[in-house]
Structure 1
């Protein structure tokens, strides 16, 4: 959830706080670029696997560039290998007669290429585009830079993906027509744009598995990791079972929140508190409409409308079918099994694909598990909103696992340190003659921050501090984005 006074959890619907500790200042006032730190040095207790994971985390751009270069050079200089390498660069299974694309195992190569692209592109954009923008926006702390880069990248991607997805849905026959998601199933062929969108989204969510383990772990790590696993599983199974229409609809429903929430956090990082208030309220509304209304409606459609629009039976590539009223015939075609039918596009593209109640409930189970995670996050959002409106301190159970010492240092540093870092005084001295000098203005700001910290109530689980509990009108007008003054 987001409360603009609370700690940033990095997950979906999480709180955001970028007030740094003193040891998190980066390069002071000189603004020197420092790349996004991703891995810790290897220690003697680290195993080989841990070391390899650290190296993968630290050198994402280099590994991505090397893999892409190797694939490109192989494609150019080894003609015999092109029958395999071309699958990475082109959408497979094109049908010239229909002008559409089929689905199959070769599409996994295209997903692999975009997985590598997303891993390298994410870090490159964060380091060389978003980090300078963050500094120009007044963010001069290490923690603030990292949070800004992570959320800005998510905004950049989701704006593109949601716009493309909505364009596809807007120009389709199933725009706000749930029955059209099912009529005519199985959809063995789809247009090239829909296929590209689906495979690219699939690659992105696989990359998120890596990201959630690279970024600083939050208290909701298990929920985020589980959410990504369910998302990838649904993409894999829906693509293999020719249910791309409902998959595109769900992706569009989910992506909108991932634009509004990170935007609110970015505004907060840069100190635009009133704009953060607006986007916080917008975030709550968008979450309720998309994830608590639209998504359950789609789940209901899977449960109810498929009974009407997709009769039980086995469907052949020529459009004929064997009805479920012929159980013996359906059993011979594999209609009584679940898993072989779910991955039919990967194993037997031209063979019959069967629909039955077991398959339907398999998809329902996955969707309901995903909805359970979403509802858990929604309860946390409601809890924060209610507590803030009532004038009580919000207890964010999804905040970072940070120590008490670091949390107190954050309070002592104050909000001014986020935007006006003191210029470092560099002097080469011995240990016996260490002397720390600061500017007069910095001392005044620090003293003011210490005085303010004495009047603030801080909770360990969230780090959320809400001054002025007695002023209910102010809290109703500003939901969590203003800083102590």
Structure 2
């Protein structure tokens, strides 16, 4: 009876030209791989470095060989709106070109550093699995960038009027012009977070993919609005507060990958303390300052570029657009030399985004507490971020390195590199075919990053068992 049912099912399966039953899953995957979007994604992901270098060269060579275009091309790699009278820089739409150029450079730099510097270091350190190599390189890149950005941010904050003085964030607003270093830092951070939106979609998806993507979108929105509304001071302070734990968590992860368990535990403990202090004490303090200090330290009214001000209770205030929220939030992009108006109601726009970020941070902190509770109660610290990662036969005890509590929590710049298997990775692969893929992909170092479900045609067919026998 069972055999008859099985034969009937096989008979109803779609046939290939030779009459051999064809798997619907394989047909669907093959059609997906043939799609234009799939091919485009594969091309971009596998050639991130090449595309970045070509775009940079295109802009630079155009600037060199076409003098007429220099007025436009210079915006991509030079800070705009320089005022030689006071050696400061203003803000405006031309800065978006610099942010775009910085995104291109960061994308190429990330791949170059991961593949040509961190990949050899990971191999020297004894990491052999494909996923282990990817994790090591991702975390090392975060350490490098966040150490740089946090150090520069701390330098700026320490030498500012708002060092240990939250009232300094608001007194003297609007800050239409800033020095070169402050502006460069802010635009590069803007580019980094915008690029992180691409990174979370390029990498294999995690269980907190939605939270991570939402976090980066809200961060970019806050940077965009704070820059357009001349609030770079508070933005710089928040970015500096957030960057610290994104150094400590990747450090703890790398120590775990390298087998230094004692140092890893110490780093993880420091990370938990730093997380609580920076993200649940300092960050709420800044949010409170937005609510309580801004209305008192910033006189409501419309401010002109020459320093004059029309108070909020004046009849001219409404005529200048003082009650139009969105138009004022993007003043530096639409009319950088025109009046910019402030009324206390506008602070709720920023508070909404700041509190939304705090909700996501609380979500991650709950994961941290869950890990700590499991460890202290003697339970197994199972991964709460990703699904089963499948087999990886290149080295033994890979799970022993990745089941540590530090792999269950996410940082703010991309988080823990624990994948949720999607696409063809979720199929039941034979051990033999997966080994083939591992061996074959080990030598491919085009970019080190790929979208699940897409890749080299021959390699893809080999993974799902459709390649011709050799």
Compute the TM-score of the two structures, normalised by the length of structure 2: 0.77
Match of 1:44 in 2: 31
Residue 401 in structure 1 maps to residue 384 in structure 2: no
Alignment of 1:132-211 (within 5 A): 132-211=120-199
- Give the Cα–Cα distance (whole angstroms) in 1 for the partners of residues 399 and 292 of structure 2: 56
Q: Are 2:223 and 2:235, in contact at CA under 8 Å, matched by a contact in 1? A: yes
Tell me the SS of whatever aligns to 1:322: strand
Match of 1:337 in 2: 324
- CA drift of 1:414 comes to 2.3
Tell me the SS of whatever aligns to 2:302: strand
- Give the Cα–Cα distance (whole angstroms) in 1 for the partners of residues 90 and 400 of structure 2: 56
Residue 315 in structure 1 maps to residue 298 in structure 2: no
Residue 65 in structure 1 maps to residue 62 in structure 2: no
- Give the Cα–Cα distance (whole angstroms) in 1 for the partners of residues 289 and 383 of structure 2: 34
Gaps of 5+ in 2: 1-28, 402-431, 433-470
Q: Are 2:149 and 2:243, in contact at CA under 8 Å, matched by a contact in 1? A: yes
- Give the Cα–Cα distance (whole angstroms) in 1 for the partners of residues 115 and 125 of structure 2: 15
Match of 1:430 in 2: none
- Give the Cα–Cα distance (whole angstroms) in 1 for the partners of residues 148 and 333 of structure 2: 28
1:354-375, Cα deviation, whole Å (9 max, x unpaired): 1113311000001000111001
Gaps of 5+ in 1: 1-41, 419-433, 435-485
Q: Are 2:252 and 2:264, in contact at CA under 8 Å, matched by a contact in 1? A: yes
Tell me the SS of whatever aligns to 2:126: coil
Q: Are 2:106 and 2:192, in contact at CA under 8 Å, matched by a contact in 1? A: yes
Residue 378 in structure 1 maps to residue 365 in structure 2: yes
- Give the Cα–Cα distance (whole angstroms) in 2 for the partners of residues 417 and 317 of structure 1: 61
Q: 1:237 aligns with which of 196, 221, 225?
A: 225
Residue 357 in structure 1 maps to residue 330 in structure 2: no
1:19-78, Cα deviation, whole Å (9 max, x unpaired): xxxxxxxxxxxxxxxxxxxxxxx9422431232122111100000011011111111111
- CA drift of 1:133 comes to 0.5
Tell me the SS of whatever aligns to 1:314: strand
Structure-2 change in CA distance of 1:44 and 1:182 (3 Å): same
Match of 2:458 in 1: none
Q: Are 2:248 and 2:270, in contact at CA under 8 Å, matched by a contact in 1? A: yes
- CA drift of 1:394 comes to 3.2
Match of 2:374 in 1: 387
1:452-479, Cα deviation, whole Å (9 max, x unpaired): xxxxxxxxxxxxxxxxxxxxxxxxxxxx
RMSD: 2.0
Q: Are 2:128 and 2:395, in contact at CA under 8 Å, matched by a contact in 1? A: no
Residue 324 in structure 1 maps to residue 312 in structure 2: yes
Match of 2:107 in 1: 119
- CA drift of 1:413 comes to 3.8
Q: Are 2:49 and 2:109, in contact at CA under 8 Å, matched by a contact in 1? A: yes
Structure-2 change in CA distance of 1:96 and 1:220 (3 Å): same
1:178-226, Cα deviation, whole Å (9 max, x unpaired): 0001000000000100000000000011110111111111101000000
1:137-176, Cα deviation, whole Å (9 max, x unpaired): 1111111100000110000000001111111111111111
Tell me the SS of whatever aligns to 1:336: coil
1:252-302, Cα deviation, whole Å (9 max, x unpaired): 000001000000000000100000000000000000010010000000000
Tell me the SS of whatever aligns to 2:116: helix
Compute the TM-score of the two structures, normalised by the length of structure 1: 0.75
Match of 1:346 in 2: 333
